[in-house]
Amino acid sequence: MKFVHIADIHFDSPFINLSDRESLGDMKRLEQRKVFKKVIDYIKENNIKYLFISGDLYEQKYIRKSTIEYINNLFKEIAKTKIYISPGNHDPYIKNSYYNRFTWSENVHIFNSKIERIELEDVDIYGYGFDDFYCTNCGIENLEIANKDKKNILVIHGTIDGANLEEKQYNSIPRKLLEEKGFDYVAVGHIHKLDYNTYENQKIVYPGSLIALGFDEIGEHGMIVGELNDTDIKTEFVPLGETDFIEIELDVTDIISKDELIEKINDLEITENQLVKIILIGKRKFEIDRNEIYKLVTNERIIKIKDHTRIEYDLEKIANDNTLKGIFAKEILKEKENARRRRNRNNRKSS
Protein backbone atom coordinates (compact mmCIF):
# COMPACT_ATOMS: atom_id res chain seq x y z
CA MET A 1 0.00 0.00 0.00
CA LYS A 2 1.25 3.46 -0.91
CA PHE A 3 0.62 6.53 1.20
CA VAL A 4 1.47 10.21 1.53
CA HIS A 5 2.02 11.75 4.97
CA ILE A 6 1.86 15.53 5.53
CA ALA A 7 1.28 17.79 8.53
CA ASP A 8 1.27 21.37 9.79
CA ILE A 9 0.04 23.24 6.74
CA HIS A 10 -1.60 25.97 8.85
CA PHE A 11 -3.91 27.26 6.12
CA ASP A 12 -4.84 30.94 6.55
CA SER A 13 -2.09 31.66 9.05
CA PRO A 14 -1.88 35.48 9.35
CA PHE A 15 1.97 35.64 9.32
CA ILE A 16 1.62 38.83 11.38
CA ASN A 17 5.14 39.07 12.82
CA LEU A 18 6.99 37.41 9.99
CA SER A 19 7.76 40.47 7.89
CA ASP A 20 7.82 44.25 7.94
CA ARG A 21 6.44 44.20 4.40
CA GLU A 22 2.63 44.10 4.25
CA SER A 23 2.28 41.82 1.20
CA LEU A 24 4.17 38.82 2.58
CA GLY A 25 1.17 37.26 4.33
CA ASP A 26 -0.77 37.10 1.07
CA MET A 27 2.24 35.65 -0.72
CA LYS A 28 2.74 32.87 1.85
CA ARG A 29 -0.97 31.98 1.85
CA LEU A 30 -0.84 31.61 -1.92
CA GLU A 31 2.22 29.40 -1.51
CA GLN A 32 0.26 27.19 0.93
CA ARG A 33 -2.37 26.63 -1.75
CA LYS A 34 0.16 26.03 -4.50
CA VAL A 35 2.16 23.45 -2.54
CA PHE A 36 -0.96 21.67 -1.27
CA LYS A 37 -2.11 21.40 -4.88
CA LYS A 38 1.26 19.78 -5.67
CA VAL A 39 0.49 17.10 -3.06
CA ILE A 40 -2.90 16.38 -4.60
CA ASP A 41 -1.44 16.24 -8.12
CA TYR A 42 1.25 13.82 -6.94
CA ILE A 43 -1.42 11.57 -5.42
CA LYS A 44 -3.42 11.58 -8.67
CA GLU A 45 -0.41 10.89 -10.87
CA ASN A 46 0.93 8.06 -8.70
CA ASN A 47 -2.34 6.35 -7.67
CA ILE A 48 -1.70 6.84 -3.97
CA LYS A 49 -4.23 4.94 -1.89
CA TYR A 50 -3.96 6.81 1.43
CA LEU A 51 -3.33 10.40 2.54
CA PHE A 52 -2.50 10.99 6.21
CA ILE A 53 -2.75 14.57 7.56
CA SER A 54 -1.34 14.69 11.08
CA GLY A 55 -2.91 17.87 12.38
CA ASP A 56 -2.82 21.65 12.03
CA LEU A 57 -4.29 21.57 8.56
CA TYR A 58 -5.63 25.07 9.19
CA GLU A 59 -5.75 27.86 11.77
CA GLN A 60 -9.03 27.65 13.68
CA LYS A 61 -8.88 31.34 14.63
CA TYR A 62 -8.35 32.65 11.08
CA ILE A 63 -9.63 30.03 8.66
CA ARG A 64 -12.12 31.18 6.02
CA LYS A 65 -14.91 29.07 4.64
CA SER A 66 -13.65 29.72 1.13
CA THR A 67 -10.32 28.10 2.08
CA ILE A 68 -12.11 25.05 3.52
CA GLU A 69 -14.07 24.75 0.28
CA TYR A 70 -10.83 25.01 -1.69
CA ILE A 71 -9.28 22.19 0.35
CA ASN A 72 -12.38 20.01 0.08
CA ASN A 73 -12.66 20.48 -3.68
CA LEU A 74 -9.09 19.19 -3.98
CA PHE A 75 -10.04 16.21 -1.84
CA LYS A 76 -12.86 15.48 -4.27
CA GLU A 77 -10.30 15.32 -7.10
CA ILE A 78 -8.71 12.27 -5.43
CA ALA A 79 -11.96 10.45 -4.66
CA LYS A 80 -10.27 7.03 -4.79
CA THR A 81 -7.77 8.06 -2.10
CA LYS A 82 -8.81 7.57 1.52
CA ILE A 83 -7.94 10.66 3.57
CA TYR A 84 -7.41 10.50 7.34
CA ILE A 85 -7.08 13.70 9.36
CA SER A 86 -5.93 13.93 12.97
CA PRO A 87 -6.89 17.41 14.28
CA GLY A 88 -4.14 19.20 16.22
CA ASN A 89 -3.82 22.07 18.65
CA HIS A 90 -4.31 24.74 15.96
CA ASP A 91 -7.32 23.01 14.33
CA PRO A 92 -8.98 21.04 17.17
CA TYR A 93 -12.23 19.16 16.71
CA ILE A 94 -14.36 21.63 18.68
CA LYS A 95 -18.03 22.54 18.44
CA ASN A 96 -17.67 25.41 15.98
CA SER A 97 -14.83 23.92 13.91
CA TYR A 98 -15.22 23.14 10.23
CA TYR A 99 -14.36 19.56 11.09
CA ASN A 100 -17.64 19.47 12.99
CA ARG A 101 -19.97 21.66 10.93
CA PHE A 102 -18.80 21.26 7.33
CA THR A 103 -19.83 18.48 4.95
CA TRP A 104 -16.56 16.98 3.80
CA SER A 105 -15.96 14.81 0.75
CA GLU A 106 -16.95 11.16 1.25
CA ASN A 107 -13.32 9.98 1.12
CA VAL A 108 -12.38 12.08 4.20
CA HIS A 109 -12.35 10.68 7.73
CA ILE A 110 -11.65 12.98 10.68
CA PHE A 111 -10.58 11.49 14.00
CA ASN A 112 -11.83 12.87 17.31
CA SER A 113 -10.70 12.64 20.95
CA LYS A 114 -11.56 8.95 21.27
CA ILE A 115 -8.85 6.76 19.74
CA GLU A 116 -10.47 5.01 16.81
CA ARG A 117 -9.56 1.98 14.71
CA ILE A 118 -10.48 1.85 11.02
CA GLU A 119 -10.45 -1.72 9.67
CA LEU A 120 -9.48 -1.94 6.02
CA GLU A 121 -8.58 -4.87 3.80
CA ASP A 122 -4.82 -4.34 3.78
CA VAL A 123 -4.28 -2.22 6.90
CA ASP A 124 -5.78 -1.09 10.21
CA ILE A 125 -5.54 2.66 10.76
CA TYR A 126 -5.73 4.13 14.24
CA GLY A 127 -6.18 7.82 14.93
CA TYR A 128 -6.71 10.47 17.57
CA GLY A 129 -7.63 14.16 17.30
CA PHE A 130 -7.42 17.12 19.70
CA ASP A 131 -10.79 18.33 21.00
CA ASP A 132 -9.23 21.45 22.54
CA PHE A 133 -6.23 23.70 21.98
CA TYR A 134 -4.31 21.64 24.55
CA CYS A 135 -4.03 17.92 25.28
CA THR A 136 -2.19 16.44 28.25
CA ASN A 137 -3.15 12.78 27.75
CA CYS A 138 -4.69 11.10 24.71
CA GLY A 139 -4.89 7.69 26.40
CA ILE A 140 -2.45 6.02 24.03
CA GLU A 141 -1.12 3.89 26.91
CA ASN A 142 -4.44 2.00 26.96
CA LEU A 143 -4.39 1.18 23.24
CA GLU A 144 -3.67 -2.37 22.14
CA ILE A 145 -3.29 -3.34 18.48
CA ALA A 146 -6.22 -5.62 17.62
CA ASN A 147 -4.68 -7.56 14.74
CA LYS A 148 -0.91 -7.83 14.61
CA ASP A 149 -1.09 -10.03 11.54
CA LYS A 150 -2.05 -6.92 9.51
CA LYS A 151 -0.18 -3.68 8.90
CA ASN A 152 -1.05 -1.08 11.55
CA ILE A 153 -0.68 2.69 11.21
CA LEU A 154 -1.26 5.44 13.80
CA VAL A 155 -2.14 9.00 12.71
CA ILE A 156 -1.68 11.48 15.55
CA HIS A 157 -0.63 15.01 16.50
CA GLY A 158 1.68 15.58 19.44
CA THR A 159 5.12 15.82 20.98
CA ILE A 160 7.30 12.74 21.13
CA ASP A 161 9.21 12.64 24.44
CA GLY A 162 8.01 16.07 25.51
CA ALA A 163 10.18 17.11 28.43
CA ASN A 164 9.16 20.56 29.64
CA LEU A 165 5.78 21.82 30.84
CA GLU A 166 4.88 23.49 27.53
CA GLU A 167 5.64 20.39 25.46
CA LYS A 168 3.56 18.23 27.79
CA GLN A 169 0.49 20.37 27.03
CA TYR A 170 0.56 19.18 23.42
CA ASN A 171 -0.01 15.44 23.76
CA SER A 172 3.42 14.33 24.92
CA ILE A 173 3.97 10.63 24.13
CA PRO A 174 7.05 8.59 25.14
CA ARG A 175 8.79 7.18 22.08
CA LYS A 176 9.46 3.94 23.94
CA LEU A 177 5.72 3.49 24.59
CA LEU A 178 4.89 3.95 20.90
CA GLU A 179 7.60 1.50 19.88
CA GLU A 180 6.26 -1.08 22.33
CA LYS A 181 2.78 -0.80 20.81
CA GLY A 182 4.14 -2.28 17.59
CA PHE A 183 2.85 0.07 14.88
CA ASP A 184 4.35 -0.37 11.44
CA TYR A 185 4.24 3.40 10.91
CA VAL A 186 3.35 6.35 13.15
CA ALA A 187 2.37 9.47 11.17
CA VAL A 188 3.01 12.34 13.59
CA GLY A 189 2.49 16.08 13.31
CA HIS A 190 3.20 19.16 15.46
CA ILE A 191 6.97 19.54 15.21
CA HIS A 192 7.73 21.61 12.10
CA LYS A 193 11.19 20.13 11.59
CA LEU A 194 11.57 17.00 9.45
CA ASP A 195 12.40 13.90 11.52
CA TYR A 196 12.91 11.12 9.00
CA ASN A 197 15.65 8.49 8.70
CA THR A 198 17.48 9.94 11.71
CA TYR A 199 17.95 6.44 13.14
CA GLU A 200 17.83 2.86 11.86
CA ASN A 201 14.40 1.38 11.06
CA GLN A 202 12.62 4.57 12.02
CA LYS A 203 8.85 4.10 12.11
CA ILE A 204 7.82 7.25 14.03
CA VAL A 205 8.03 10.09 11.51
CA TYR A 206 7.49 13.86 11.50
CA PRO A 207 7.25 15.17 7.92
CA GLY A 208 7.72 18.72 9.22
CA SER A 209 5.61 21.65 8.07
CA LEU A 210 4.56 21.46 4.42
CA ILE A 211 6.17 24.84 3.70
CA ALA A 212 8.58 26.96 5.76
CA LEU A 213 6.46 29.22 7.96
CA GLY A 214 9.18 31.39 9.46
CA PHE A 215 12.87 32.06 10.05
CA ASP A 216 12.97 29.34 12.70
CA GLU A 217 12.17 26.73 10.02
CA ILE A 218 15.38 26.58 8.03
CA GLY A 219 15.82 23.66 5.65
CA GLU A 220 13.73 21.63 3.23
CA HIS A 221 9.97 21.19 3.61
CA GLY A 222 7.59 18.78 1.92
CA MET A 223 5.95 15.38 2.34
CA ILE A 224 6.74 11.77 3.15
CA VAL A 225 5.85 9.18 0.52
CA GLY A 226 5.73 5.62 1.80
CA GLU A 227 4.97 2.07 0.80
CA LEU A 228 4.15 -0.78 3.16
CA ASN A 229 4.53 -4.35 1.96
CA ASP A 230 4.49 -7.73 3.65
CA THR A 231 8.05 -7.51 4.94
CA ASP A 232 9.02 -3.88 5.46
CA ILE A 233 8.31 -0.22 4.89
CA LYS A 234 9.98 2.06 2.35
CA THR A 235 9.76 5.82 2.76
CA GLU A 236 11.23 8.85 1.08
CA PHE A 237 11.06 12.59 1.67
CA VAL A 238 9.86 14.68 -1.27
CA PRO A 239 10.68 18.42 -0.99
CA LEU A 240 7.93 20.77 -2.14
CA GLY A 241 8.54 24.20 -0.59
CA GLU A 242 8.59 27.20 -2.91
CA THR A 243 10.59 29.55 -0.68
CA ASP A 244 13.40 29.26 1.88
CA PHE A 245 13.97 31.55 4.84
CA ILE A 246 17.57 32.62 5.38
CA GLU A 247 19.33 35.00 7.75
CA ILE A 248 22.28 37.15 6.70
CA GLU A 249 24.51 38.96 9.22
CA LEU A 250 25.95 42.25 7.97
CA ASP A 251 28.75 43.84 10.02
CA VAL A 252 28.53 47.65 9.91
CA THR A 253 31.79 48.31 11.78
CA ASP A 254 33.65 49.46 8.64
CA ILE A 255 30.63 51.19 7.08
CA ILE A 256 30.77 54.97 7.53
CA SER A 257 27.31 56.13 6.38
CA LYS A 258 23.68 55.17 5.86
CA ASP A 259 24.13 55.45 2.08
CA GLU A 260 27.00 52.96 2.12
CA LEU A 261 24.90 50.57 4.22
CA ILE A 262 22.05 50.74 1.68
CA GLU A 263 24.52 49.98 -1.12
CA LYS A 264 25.86 46.95 0.77
CA ILE A 265 22.33 45.60 1.32
CA ASN A 266 21.28 46.16 -2.29
CA ASP A 267 24.41 44.37 -3.52
CA LEU A 268 23.61 41.16 -1.62
CA GLU A 269 23.08 38.12 -3.85
CA ILE A 270 19.59 36.78 -3.11
CA THR A 271 17.84 34.14 -5.23
CA GLU A 272 14.17 34.24 -6.20
CA ASN A 273 13.21 31.44 -3.82
CA GLN A 274 14.75 33.11 -0.75
CA LEU A 275 13.11 35.31 1.87
CA VAL A 276 15.78 37.13 3.85
CA LYS A 277 16.22 38.61 7.30
CA ILE A 278 19.16 41.02 7.54
CA ILE A 279 20.76 41.17 10.99
CA LEU A 280 22.94 44.25 11.41
CA ILE A 281 25.83 43.68 13.84
CA GLY A 282 29.02 45.45 14.94
CA LYS A 283 29.75 49.03 16.01
CA ARG A 284 27.95 51.73 14.05
CA LYS A 285 29.21 55.23 13.32
CA PHE A 286 25.76 56.61 12.42
CA GLU A 287 22.15 56.26 13.50
CA ILE A 288 20.14 53.49 11.87
CA ASP A 289 16.48 54.06 11.03
CA ARG A 290 15.00 50.78 9.77
CA ASN A 291 11.97 52.52 8.23
CA GLU A 292 14.27 54.65 6.08
CA ILE A 293 16.28 51.59 5.08
CA TYR A 294 13.14 49.72 3.95
CA LYS A 295 12.21 52.62 1.66
CA LEU A 296 15.59 52.48 -0.08
CA VAL A 297 16.18 48.71 -0.23
CA THR A 298 15.30 47.60 -3.76
CA ASN A 299 15.05 43.82 -3.25
CA GLU A 300 11.59 42.86 -1.98
CA ARG A 301 12.93 39.42 -0.95
CA ILE A 302 14.41 41.22 2.06
CA ILE A 303 11.43 41.09 4.40
CA LYS A 304 12.92 41.86 7.79
CA ILE A 305 15.81 43.91 9.17
CA LYS A 306 17.02 43.60 12.77
CA ASP A 307 19.41 46.11 14.32
CA HIS A 308 21.81 44.43 16.78
CA THR A 309 24.53 47.07 16.43
CA ARG A 310 26.16 49.17 19.14
CA ILE A 311 27.10 52.82 18.80
CA GLU A 312 30.82 53.52 18.42
CA TYR A 313 31.74 56.39 20.74
CA ASP A 314 34.70 58.77 20.23
CA LEU A 315 35.49 59.18 23.92
CA GLU A 316 38.30 61.70 23.40
CA LYS A 317 35.99 63.98 21.42
CA ILE A 318 33.15 63.64 23.92
CA ALA A 319 35.58 64.33 26.83
CA ASN A 320 36.10 67.86 25.48
CA ASP A 321 32.41 68.70 26.04
CA ASN A 322 31.48 70.64 29.19
CA THR A 323 28.57 68.32 29.91
CA LEU A 324 27.80 65.39 32.20
CA LYS A 325 28.50 63.12 29.24
CA GLY A 326 31.89 64.82 28.86
CA ILE A 327 32.76 64.35 32.55
CA PHE A 328 31.76 60.69 32.29
CA ALA A 329 33.94 60.23 29.20
CA LYS A 330 36.93 61.79 31.02
CA GLU A 331 36.50 59.33 33.89
CA ILE A 332 36.40 56.39 31.47
CA LEU A 333 39.55 57.59 29.70
CA LYS A 334 41.26 58.11 33.06
CA GLU A 335 40.37 54.58 34.18
CA LYS A 336 41.57 53.14 30.84
CA GLU A 337 44.91 54.96 31.25
CA ASN A 338 45.32 53.71 34.83
CA ALA A 339 44.59 50.16 33.69
CA ARG A 340 47.22 50.49 30.93
CA ARG A 341 49.83 51.68 33.45
CA ARG A 342 49.04 48.80 35.82
CA ARG A 343 49.53 46.30 32.99
CA ASN A 344 52.87 47.91 32.10
CA ARG A 345 54.09 47.72 35.74
CA ASN A 346 53.05 44.08 36.00
CA ASN A 347 54.81 43.25 32.75
CA ARG A 348 58.07 44.90 34.00
CA LYS A 349 57.90 42.97 37.29
CA SER A 350 57.33 39.64 35.54
CA SER A 351 60.27 40.22 33.21
| Domain extent listing, the chain | 2-239, 244-311, 315-350
Taking the domain 2-239, which CATH number applies? 3.60.21.10
Cα–Cα distance, 19 to 246 (Å, whole number): 13
Longest dimension (CA), the chain: 89
Name the phi and psi angles at 327, rounded to 5: -60, -40
**Other CB atoms closer than 10 Å to residue 45's CB: what's the count?**
8
Note the pLDDT of residue 350. Answer: 66
Measured CA to CA in angstroms, residue 68 lies from 19, 77, 110, 301 at distances of: 26, 15, 14, 29
What is the 8-class DSSP label of residue 142?
A: G
Read off the pLDDT of each residue in 231-253 and give the average, rounded to a whole number: 91
Taking the domain 244-311, which CATH number applies? 3.30.110
| Closest CA relative to residue 202, chosen from 168, 160, 141, 146 | 160
Mean of all residue pLDDT scores within the chain: 92
Confidence at 163, pLDDT banded by 50, 70, 90: confident
Confidence at 324, pLDDT banded by 50, 70, 90: confident
- Return the percent helix, strand and coil in the chain, to nearest 5: 30, 25, 45
Instruction: State pTM to two decimals.
Output: 0.85
pLDDT at 185 over 90: yes
Higher per-residue confidence, 122 vs 177:
177
Long-range contacts formed by 158-165: CB under 8 A, 24+ apart:
158/188, 158/189, 158/190, 159/190, 159/191, 160/188, 160/191, 160/204, 160/206
